[in-house]
Chains A and B, each alone.
Chain A
């Protein structure tokens, strides 16, 4: 069976090379039959990758430990869901998933657009083919999931902390996001190569970008929630290079999603959009290089595998190629209009973009800092949380404010007086929120106070917009249905506000106390009193569970347990935290018992009270909902697009 998998990957490599070479020749010579042949090769590459993926999935389900990959990442005791999730749990499998999504996305994007955008898709095929050539080559020559061995009786299994539903969904979500960014990149490169740099490539890929951005954003929140409930340190984001690897392309894609609106409307920022889409794509591949090369120190223990240099070479070559292409086509990328006023919708988008890219690049600098210091000073130095927190506040708070101002500023130009009149209600809401917060003691954290005040401002602008629109159309449903992109965007803005409130609340206003508690002894933290009621040990077939039990009195009364599990196979421990959620306040009582003595009943316990933290997870649902509204197909919009694109395509 492994031979079938290997053969399928070799076929994929051959088809990808064909799409690249023949597709490139066909596009250059404008030969339709040859272009159709290259396009069909791209479709077939998806089919052959699907065969390879099916072989690996079958081997996983059948516990075929003659596959080295299956033996290294699963065992016979692993539940089916986690056995299947091992597909992307290791390096080789995750690369196969990348190739599968890439060829699937590429084939679909080309199939959908081949009629209306024939000239563009002729160039998109070789670009997707080029990316697929790289990944299939790595899978065939460097990191094959189909290496075999004499089958052992059982496999190594999966670390218990990774046996969590969030870990089933989190990695594929990220891949759908990372790989999804290849589609707008391929269309952008296709537009540059063909010289058709009008806005068609942006319109054609808008939903692809939005979907990739949605998956990447939601995938990160799933990972954050997993860290919060499973890792047991009380946090959800550690500014680790591997976490930053997903955040950076998401920030670049966020900037892109906003700036394309300026190009669509005003014909401006054409060069900037090309740079952004290339940046988002390169950062997504660079993230893979970071996670697989071992060049930076991370809390994730990645092996220094042989694929690192290949990825670095790919990032360097494709970055140089993209930049050279943009430079070559600069004369075609001139703006149709100019920015007329610093107080206008397009200026607000520009500020938003500069802040997002600045945040993205400062994070990139933080990630690269150890490498740079090693090269320049011969000593690896690491930048910690204070650096990232500083820049998150510096760029994030103005971004939050802009999220409220931007949608209410008119295109072209607005007077300051007119803008202030438009923003009267939101400003009133923000000031009132600030006064109330100071009165109830919220002024203890300046960043927290600013974040909440700005959040109130943004929420008020959204409400003002919805009320105005509903009055005009007579129905909120009709309003949203008629302009899904705009109102879906407002819902996403509301999600970002919830996220900001959750982050500010859980970091600026959290409490934490550590104590050694003897049996019957109590401790107090932020209005809660916890009393040690003893330690129990429960031995089960594959796990021994040790739990300290604490009685809780305060805003909520009951009991909470925390401790650790010691598994037999694989012989790994896991920390089990106790979390009690107060949904009315969005607050968590988070208990970490990091040491317990069953005989004496003595426990060492850390108790955290994290106000509003659950708004972060609620924000994830709202984010998904808003993104789905913006993504939902719209027949009227499609008709408008066809009418708009047809004359350009035929010119």
Chain B
């Protein structure tokens, strides 16, 4: 039986390999998206995700040139800033409506979010009775 086990070498190389792949990914390919609430969007621009509650009236149609237009407020509904959203593309999920919590991904510029994707939060599961 050999006096030194290659186990430690294998583990060390594997850990180093994982770290190298991870660093490579985060350095080259990894790109995260800021996830903000409407009141956190002051001075922001570019691609981001906004988490909020749909408020105001729903206007237009996502398939039309002018798009579906609505506003997002902070999820907890404590007032604060509202963000104008214009959304183009496939119709929003069926649960999308005023009062619903959603995540809109898009590009923010000139105080308007050009939405490209809407995810409506799945309701009910594990929400506490008190809520």
Contacts and interface: CB of A to CB of B under 8 A. Distances in A.
Contact of B119 (A147, A299, A373): A299
A394 interface: yes
Contacts of A381: 32-35
A390 B25 contact: yes
Nearest to A361: B18
A162 B119 CA distance: 17
Interface in A544-580: 564, 572-575
Nearest to B32: A381
B7 interface: yes
Interface in B16-31: 18, 21-22, 25, 29-31
A92 B129 contact: yes
Contacts of A338: 1-2, 5, 7
Contacts of B22: 362, 365
Interface in A365-405: 365, 369-370, 373, 379-384, 386-387, 390-391, 394
Interface stretch (A66-74, A186-194, A458-466): A66-74
A369 B119 CA distance: 20
Given A292-B126, A339-B6, A574-B94, A303 B131 contact: yes
B35 A301 contact: no
Interface string A295-319: 0011111110111000000000000
Interface in B43-100: 49, 51, 61-63, 90-91, 93-95
Contacts of A72: 129
A575 B127 contact: no
A350 B10 contact: yes
Interface string A225-242: 000000111000000000
Given A305-B131, A381-B33, A604-B90, A339 B5 contact: yes
Interface in A103-143: 143
B129 A68 contact: yes
Contacts of B125: 89, 162, 300, 302
A162 B11 CA distance: 45
A6 to B, nearest CB: 15
A510 interface: no
A337 B14 CA distance: 21
B14 A297 contact: no
Contacts of B36: 379-380
A73 B124 contact: yes
A159 interface: yes
Interface string A575-610: 100000000000000001011000000001010000
Given A382-B49, A573-B94, A604-B90, A90 B123 contact: no
B113 interface: no
Given A305-B131, A339-B7, A380-B35, A354 B95 contact: no
Contacts of A161: 95, 122
A301 B101 contact: yes
B127 A301 contact: yes
B128 interface: yes
Nearest to A596: B91
Interface string B104-131: 0000000000000001111111111111
Interface in A24-53: none
Interface size class of B (residues with CB under 8 A): 35 or more
Interface residues of A, number: 71
A159 B5 contact: no
B34 to A, nearest CB: 5
Nearest to A143: B128
Given A338-B5, A573-B95, A594-B90, A299 B126 contact: no
B35 A382 contact: yes
A370 to B, nearest CB: 6
B32 A369 contact: yes
A299 B128 contact: no
B71 to A, nearest CB: 19
Nearest to B89: A514
A553 B122 CA distance: 35
A306 B129 CA distance: 12
Given A94-B126, A302-B127, A297 B94 contact: no
Nearest to B8: A339
A300 B129 contact: no
A206 interface: no
A342 B11 CA distance: 11
Contacts of A573: 94-95
Nearest to A307: B128
A622 interface: no
A384 B30 CA distance: 9
Given A340-B1, A370-B35, A382-B35, A158 B119 contact: no
Nearest to B15: A354
B128 A382 contact: no
Given A354-B11, A575-B93, A594-B90, A69 B129 contact: yes
Nearest to A387: B30
Quick one: which of B30, B95, B101 has the most chain A CB within 10 A?
B95
A273 interface: no
Contact of B94 (A147, A268, A339, A575): A575
Given A339-B5, A339-B7, A340-B1, A299 B103 contact: yes
Interface string A71-92: 0110000000000000001111
A516 interface: yes
B77 to A, nearest CB: 13
A552 B14 CA distance: 51
Contact of B128 (A298, A305, A347, A369): A305
A205 interface: no
A631 interface: no
A370 B127 CA distance: 22
B51 A297 contact: yes
A166 interface: no
B10 A347 contact: yes
Nearest to B49: A382
Shortest 10 CB-CB contacts between residues of A and residues of B = A301-B121, A594-B91, A303-B131, A338-B5, A381-B32, A339-B7, A575-B94, A573-B94, A91-B128, A305-B128
Given A94-B126, A365-B22, 14 more contacts: A69-B129, A91-B126, A232-B93, A233-B93, A268-B7, A300-B122, A300-B125, A301-B123, A340-B5, A370-B35, A382-B49, A387-B30, A516-B63, A595-B63
22 contacts: A69-B129, A90-B127, A90-B128, A145-B129, A231-B122, A291-B126, A298-B121, A300-B121, A302-B127, A303-B130, A305-B130, A307-B128, A354-B14, A370-B35, A380-B36, A382-B33, A383-B32, A384-B32, A516-B63, A573-B95, A595-B63, A595-B91
